[in-house]
Amino acid sequence: MTHPPKSGAQLLIDSLKEQGVEIIFGYPGGAIMPVYDVLPKSGLKHILGRHEQGCAMAAIGYARATGKTGTCLATSGPGATNLVTGIADAYLDSVPVVFITGQVPSDLMGTDAFQEVDIYGITLPVVKHSYIARDPADIPGMVEEAYYIASEGRPGPVLIDLPKDVANAVTTERHKWRSYPKVKPAMGSPEHIKICEEMIRSAKKPLFYIGGGIAQGDGVSELRDLVERTEIPVVSTLKGLGAMPSDHEHFLGMLGMHGLKAANFAVQEADLLIVAGARFDDRATGKLDTFAPHAKIIHMDIDIAEINKLRRADIWLEGSLKKNLAALNPGRSSADEWRALCYGRRAQYKWDYEAAQKNVKNGGVYAPKLLHDLTRRAPENAIITCDVGQHQMWTAQHCYFDDPKDHITSGGLGTMGFGVPAGLGAQLGCPDRTVITVSGDGSIMMNIQELATLNRYQIPLKIVLLDNGVLGMVRQWQEVFFDENYSEVDLYDNPDFAELARAFQIDAFTVTKRSEVDAGIDKLLAAKGPILMHVKISPNENVWPLVPPGRSNADMMER
């Protein structure tokens, strides 16, 4: 069957529209120019970032906030290599994004041509799948398959590399590719479900240990229902925050290196861990052979490769978390003494913000209280995107989250510079919601150019910049573990961030004292357009608790 003649570039754009793509984050260049030539008449909304890494992080923020697959476009050579950190970030956090890169013409590939790199080879370790287009007739099937692979099962990034001659070539053919029927995800066997139920019923100290897979597997409501029915306490990883509301009666908080004391103590004493969508990451477990030493393990995950990878499970339920959580019906746990112990500790170790902020000298700002108050006063469905560092841990410890899509941060890769572009992507994906980015003075400088993107499209992102004049997390480790040998952490020459934001035509103001915080929060939340609240804090404030590397989660250091 012949079709109307179309170029590879036009077939790409048509195929993106067929996949339901609405927004593309991208940056043009020579090799991808044929695609940009047909883009203006496509009806697709293109967001021009100011750096390809910013475009990648924006696509990730969009995908995580909406649950849709993100789309990112860049040219060959440096355009493609600038995407690599974003691709790796999406891979480690299991985020569905299709990255499309231009490439030099096919006959020049392998000749070290101008702006040629083997982006296919460079990214092989950090993609779920990748393609090099060789024939324009393959593009519709290739794009359909790419979006299917990115979102099915455990999500992840997919790369399409498009040589310039293939983008320019005109064809009347459409090669038939494999069809992908909607496959219902598998679930654990009835026998394994029954064994799990009996283990839960007989446990004296059961505990849910939940991760980012809960949201990605659409299992939030099923988890909450199971927790309500069993009344078993819950701890969460960084990416699992929000799967249980932060103030839920059965939620103990985040576990791990900067986890809350009630959560870490519960893990160390549990006799059964019900692990759902978590992978025993080192930041959550501490020294692995001391993690939950008395616990049997029920492990639920859609990715069979995660089961028995780091901790041997006594029983596992592979496949759909949504189905497996719904299938479990062990009844209410009889572990009343355990519940009383866990909830008593939660009350005992509850943060005393008023007492803690008195330790900040000269009426200075206490960042944890600011973040706590901010999310309590923000609209109910506000989204927080976050950079990486001390402010990231304070956000995890002290902000309120009612849904896992409310909390978007770089987990597995720990990418500084993530917060602002992820925030603008989340805001474009959810225009009716309040989106707040929490950043630090080290992180924000890594993608500061995206303030220009905020201004160009008047994206009403609200930025809270915590500025302590140092690389705070590195400084804290040098203080605690390297005998206060402060090596290359002093950011004494930071710009005036409020003035810098205003240079980008972003509204901005500075808060330096505790007495200014309430009015600052009001001004931030009332803003109709993009705004930056520059908050000066002491470099001496650290994140507590802290589990030293190579130690058990029970060995928490405090102030």
Quick one: 271 exposed, middle or buried, by C-beta within 10 A (0-12, 13-18, 19+)? middle
Q: Smallest Cα–Cα separation from 300: which of 280, 330, 320, 282?
A: 320
* 342 and 362 assigned to the same domain: no
| 515: in domain | yes
pLDDT tens by residue, 384-422: 999 999 999 999 999 999 999 999 999 999 999 999 999
The residue count for the chain: 559
Mean pLDDT of 263-273: 97
- Ramachandran angles phi, psi of 188, nearest 5°: -65, 155
In this prediction, residue 358 carries a pLDDT of: 87
Mean pLDDT for all residues in the chain: 96
Cα–Cα distance for residue pair 268/1, rounded to 1 Å: 65
Whole-number pLDDT of residue 559? 78
Packing angle, helices 450-457 and 52-66, rounded to 10: 60
Residue 202 burial (C-beta neighbours within 10 Å; 0-12, 13-18, 19+):
middle
Which of 292, 324, 348 is the last residue before a domain boundary? 348
User: Which helix or strand (DSSP H or E) is residue 523 part of?
Assistant: helix 517-526
Same domain, 318 and 358: no
Say if residue 40 is in the same domain as residue 54: yes
| CATH code for the domain of 474 | 3.40.50.970
How would you classify the pairing of strands 170-171 and 6-7?
antiparallel
CA dist., res. 444 & res. 466, Å (int)? 10
Residue 554, domain member (yes or no): no
Asked whether residue 341 is domain-assigned, the answer is yes
Which whole number is the average pLDDT over 93-122? Answer: 97
Q: Indicate the residue among 348, 370, 402 that finishes a domain.
A: 348
What pLDDT, in 10s, does the model give residues 402-412? 999 999 999 99
User: Sign of the CA dihedral 434, 439, 443, 447?
Assistant: positive
pLDDT in tens, 156-199: 999 999 999 999 999 999 998 877 666 667 889 999 999 999 99
Residue for token pair 């950090």: 126
Closest CA to 162 of 130, 124, 122: 130
Q: Report DSSP state, residue 362.
A: G
Q: How many structural domains are present in the chain?
A: 3
Give me 381's structure tokens.
Answer: 């469905």
State how far the alpha carbon of 388 is from the alpha carbons of 256, 396, 419, in Å: 16, 11, 8
Q: Are residues 127 and 214 in the same domain?
A: no
Whether 493 is covered by a domain: the verdict is: yes
Contact residues for 124 (Cβ-Cβ < 8 A; gap 6+): 130
Q: Are residues 393 and 301 in the same domain?
A: no
Residue 548 belongs to a domain: no
Structural contact between residues 199 and 140, judged by C-beta atoms closer than 8 angstroms: no
In angstroms, the CA 471 to CA 172 distance is: 56
Q: Would you say residue 545 lies in a domain? A: no
How many CA atoms does the CB half-sphere of 526 hold within 13 Å?
A: 6
Q: Are 131 and 146 in contact (CB under 8 A)?
A: yes
Query: Is 251's pLDDT higher than 90?
Result: yes
Say if CB 97 and CB 90 are below 8 A apart: yes
Whether the CB-CB separation of 372 and 352 falls below 8 Å is answered with: no
Residues 523 and 375 in one domain: yes
pLDDT in tens, 424-458: 999 999 999 999 999 999 999 999 999 999 999 99
Which CATH number do you get for residue 280?
3.40.50.1220
Q: Does residue 331 sit within a domain?
A: yes
Cα separation, 243 vs 95, whole angstroms:
17
In a domain, 20, yes or no: yes
Whether residue 339 is found in the same domain as residue 488: no
Domain endpoint, select from 348, 379, 399: 348
Is 341 in the same domain as 463?
no
| CA triple 205-194-319, angle to 5 deg | 95
Q: Residue 68: CA atoms inside 13 Å, Cβ hemisphere, count?
A: 17
Which burial class, exposed, middle or buried, applies to 459 when counting CB atoms under 10 A from its CB (0-12, 13-18, 19+)? Answer: buried
Tell me, yes or no, whether 363 and 508 share the same domain. Answer: yes
Average pLDDT over residues 237-247: 96
> Does residue 277 have a pLDDT over 80?
yes
Catalytic residues: 52, 114-115, 164, 473
Nearest to 35 by CA among 136, 120, 171: 136
For 302-412, strand residue ranges (E) read 315-318, 383-386, 407-409
Instruction: Looking at the structure, tell me whether residues 416 and 365 fall in a common domain.
Output: yes
Residues 362 and 341 in one domain: no
| CA pair distance 360, 552, nearest whole angstrom | 30
Question: What is the span of the domain harbouring residue 362?
Answer: 353-536
Provide CB contacts within 8 A for 132, sequence distance 6+: 103, 120, 161, 163
For residues 281 and 274, what is the distance between their CA atoms, to the nearest angstrom? Answer: 15
**pLDDT value at position 177?**
84
238 and 163 in a single domain? The answer is no
Q: What is the pLDDT of residue 538?
A: 95
Share of the chain above pLDDT 70, in %: 99
The predicted pLDDT at position 190 comes to 93
Q: Is the pLDDT of residue 291 over 70?
A: yes
